[in-house]
């Protein structure tokens, strides 16, 4: 596995793990971890070298997300969305926009987020009900986005809004300080991923000039399917693979350390051995599929899309199954939260509904395999 993965695991132990419990218990955004992500250079992983970054791609993105998720899925998720936003700028942003935003990320530890989903379109986040009124070089936006991760903590938000070209959309960068941007933080009561500060964002007469638009007029959908989709979906595959691997680590350690009065361990019981084996099998298969999908995507192979979709669907479902079996291994200790398995199971359940949901992706996979248009 690449150096990014190995160094990412070490980073997570030092700078993510100390805050993981509080992140969940207090629905607390991992601010300290993100400060360290900036200081240690992870926020510039995908920023091109000519702008002061490391210039890495899809494989390293997946490896970092996997490494962080093996400690904290919430932190990995928020980090993943930052990388997706960065890549939109890398591939479609103007030089002026890149210089401005990338400098803030590198020099000040700022990070990005996605404000795509809406109440009316759900997991089909590329369908927008926003309004965008153009007046010369200025555009005024109105609308509401629903589950915006890293809400109020990220400094830049990517927002999809209608283009002046009928039936098309644009991808915009909204600065946190934009007048008319407000967050409804009290509404986030997630079952899992409780620290990701996901909340609705109201956009009331936010006015921006054209330098905040990413790419050419009407290119938003192209960005969604050529950039956002592969990096976002691969990232989710990595996050839920990491969650499953974390479950294996906790369940197997508990089985080995849980002793009976006669000195034998829980791991001596064959049923427990079978459960541990099945958890390992599911988790490592998810990891292997995700890393292969990232490699295929980076190399531009013909079946890369099918591999990326398959890995994300499999990893999401594998994490839930690993959680179900790990809870059996953990028994009362898991149910009573003496082990973190209950938290990991809740985090895993988010994977099947996170946009695009596992159901939507299953349809896309079938279309991809039969030569149909997506979506």
Examine the fold and report which residue of 69, 85, 111 is the final residue of a domain before the chain moves on: 111
194-229 core/surface letters (b: 16 or more CB in 10 A; e: else): bbbbbbbbebeebebeeebbbbeebbbbbbbeebbb
User: Do 171 and 146 belong to one domain?
Assistant: yes
Q: Is residue 363 one of the residues assigned to a domain?
A: yes
**What tens digit of pLDDT does each residue of 305-348 get?**
999 999 999 999 999 999 999 999 999 999 999 999 999 999 99
Q: Is residue 176 one of the residues assigned to a domain?
A: yes
Q: Is residue 71 one of the residues assigned to a domain?
A: yes
Examine the fold and report which residue of 84, 111, 138 is the final residue of a domain before the chain moves on: 111
Domain that holds residue 160: 115-217
User: Do 234 and 314 belong to one domain?
Assistant: yes
pLDDT grade for 1, boundaries at 50, 70 and 90: low
The SS3 call for residue 175 is strand
**How many angstroms separate the CA atoms of 179 and 175, rounded?**
9
**How many angstroms separate the CA atoms of 193 and 350, rounded?**
7
User: Do 319 and 302 belong to one domain?
Assistant: yes
User: Do 165 and 294 belong to one domain?
Assistant: no
**What tens digit of pLDDT does each residue of 125-136 get?**
778 999 999 999
Task: Compute the mean pLDDT over every residue in the chain, rounded to the nearest whole number.
Answer: 96
User: Do 130 and 250 belong to one domain?
Assistant: no
Examine the fold and report which residue of 75, 92, 111 is the final residue of a domain before the chain moves on: 111
User: Do 122 and 39 belong to one domain?
Assistant: no
Structure tokens at 360: 């939507």
Q: What mean pLDDT comes out for the span 250-257?
A: 98
pLDDT of residue 123: 66
Question: What is the Cα gyration radius of the chain?
Answer: 21
Contact 12, 71 (CB under 8 A): yes
Calculate the CA 325 to chain-centre distance: 24
Contacts of 191 (CB under 8 A, 6+ apart): 346, 349, 350
Q: What mean pLDDT comes out for the span 154-182?
A: 97
Contact 63, 238 (CB under 8 A): yes
CATH of the domain at 185: 2.40.110.10
At residue 193, does pLDDT exceed 70?
A: yes
User: Do 127 and 251 belong to one domain?
Assistant: no
Q: Is residue 85 one of the residues assigned to a domain?
A: yes
Q: What is the pTM of this model?
A: 0.97
Q: What mean pLDDT comes out for the span 140-145?
A: 97
CATH of the domain at 246: 1.20.140.10
Q: What mean pLDDT comes out for the span 133-152?
A: 96
Structure tokens at 184: 């409804």
User: Do 290 and 338 belong to one domain?
Assistant: yes
Q: Is residue 311 one of the residues assigned to a domain?
A: yes
Label the pairing between strands 169-175 and 213-214.
antiparallel
Beta strands in 65-196 (DSSP E): 112-115, 131-135, 138-148, 156-162, 169-175, 181-183
User: Do 36 and 148 belong to one domain?
Assistant: no
At residue 23, does pLDDT exceed 70?
A: yes
User: Do 185 and 225 belong to one domain?
Assistant: no
CATH of the domain at 77: 1.10.540.10
Q: Is residue 272 one of the residues assigned to a domain?
A: yes
User: Do 76 and 145 belong to one domain?
Assistant: no
Q: Is residue 335 one of the residues assigned to a domain?
A: yes
Q: What mean pLDDT comes out for the span 253-281?
A: 97
pLDDT of residue 124: 74
At residue 64, does pLDDT exceed 90?
A: yes
Q: What mean pLDDT comes out for the span 206-220?
A: 98
How crowded is residue 328: how many other Cβ atoms within 10 Å of its Cβ? 15
Q: Given the structure tokens 């935003």, which residue do they identify?
A: 101
At residue 375, does pLDDT exceed 80?
A: no
User: Do 87 and 147 belong to one domain?
Assistant: no
**What tens digit of pLDDT does each residue of 214-234 get?**
999 999 999 999 999 999 999
Task: Look at the chain and report how many structural domains it folds into.
Answer: 3
Q: What mean pLDDT comes out for the span 80-94?
A: 98
Phi, psi (5° rounding) for residue 115? -120, 75
Q: Is residue 375 one of the residues assigned to a domain?
A: no
Lowest mean pLDDT among 120-124, 220-224, 242-246, 354-358: 120-124
Structure tokens at 53: 């970054």
């Amino acid at each position: 596995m690449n150096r990014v993965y190995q160094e990412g695991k070490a980073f997570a132990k030092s700078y993510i793990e100390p805050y993981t419990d509080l992140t969940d218990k207090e629905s607390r955004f991992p601010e300290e971890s993100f400060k360290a992500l900036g200081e240690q250079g992870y926020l510039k992983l995908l920023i091109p070298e000519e702008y002061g970054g490391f210039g890495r791609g899809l494989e390293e993105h997946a490896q970092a997300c996997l490494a962080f998720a093996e400690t904290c899925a919430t932190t990995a998720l928020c980090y993943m969305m930052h990388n997706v936003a960065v890549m939109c700028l890398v591939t479609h942003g103007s030089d002026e926009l890149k210089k401005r935003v990338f400098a803030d990320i590198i020099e000040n530890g700022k990070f990005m987020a996605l404000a795509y989903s809406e109440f009316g379109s759900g997991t089909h986040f590329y369908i927008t009900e926003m309004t965008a009124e153009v007046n010369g070089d200025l555009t005024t936006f109105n609308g509401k986005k629903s589950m915006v991760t890293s809400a109020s903590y990220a400094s830049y938000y990517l927002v999809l809004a209608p283009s002046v070209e009928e039936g098309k959309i644009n991808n915009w960068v909204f600065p946190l300080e934009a007048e008319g941007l407000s967050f409804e933080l009290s509404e986030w009561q997630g079952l899992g991923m409780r620290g990701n500060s996901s909340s609705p964002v109201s956009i009331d007469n936010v006015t921006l000039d054209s330098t905040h638009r990413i790419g050419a007029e009407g290119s938003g959908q192209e960005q969604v399917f050529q950039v956002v989709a592969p990096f976002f979906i691969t990232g989710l595959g990595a996050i839920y693979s990491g969650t499953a691997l974390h479950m294996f680590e906790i369940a197997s350690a508990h089985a080995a350390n849980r002793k009976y009065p006669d000195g034998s361990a829980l791991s001596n019981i064959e049923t427990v051995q079978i459960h541990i084996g099945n958890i390992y099998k599911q988790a490592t298969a998810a990891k292997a599929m995700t890393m292969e999908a990232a490699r295929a995507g980076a190399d531009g192979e013909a079946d890369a899309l099918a591999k990326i979709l398959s890995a994300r669907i499999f990893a999401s479902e594998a994490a839930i199954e690993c959680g179900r079996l790990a809870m059996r291994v953990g028994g009362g200790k898991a149910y009573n939260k003496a082990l973190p398995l209950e938290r990991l199971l809740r985090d895993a359940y988010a994977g099947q509904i996170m946009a695009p949901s596992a159901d939507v992706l299953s349809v896309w996979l079938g279309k991809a395999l039969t030569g149909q248009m997506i979506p």
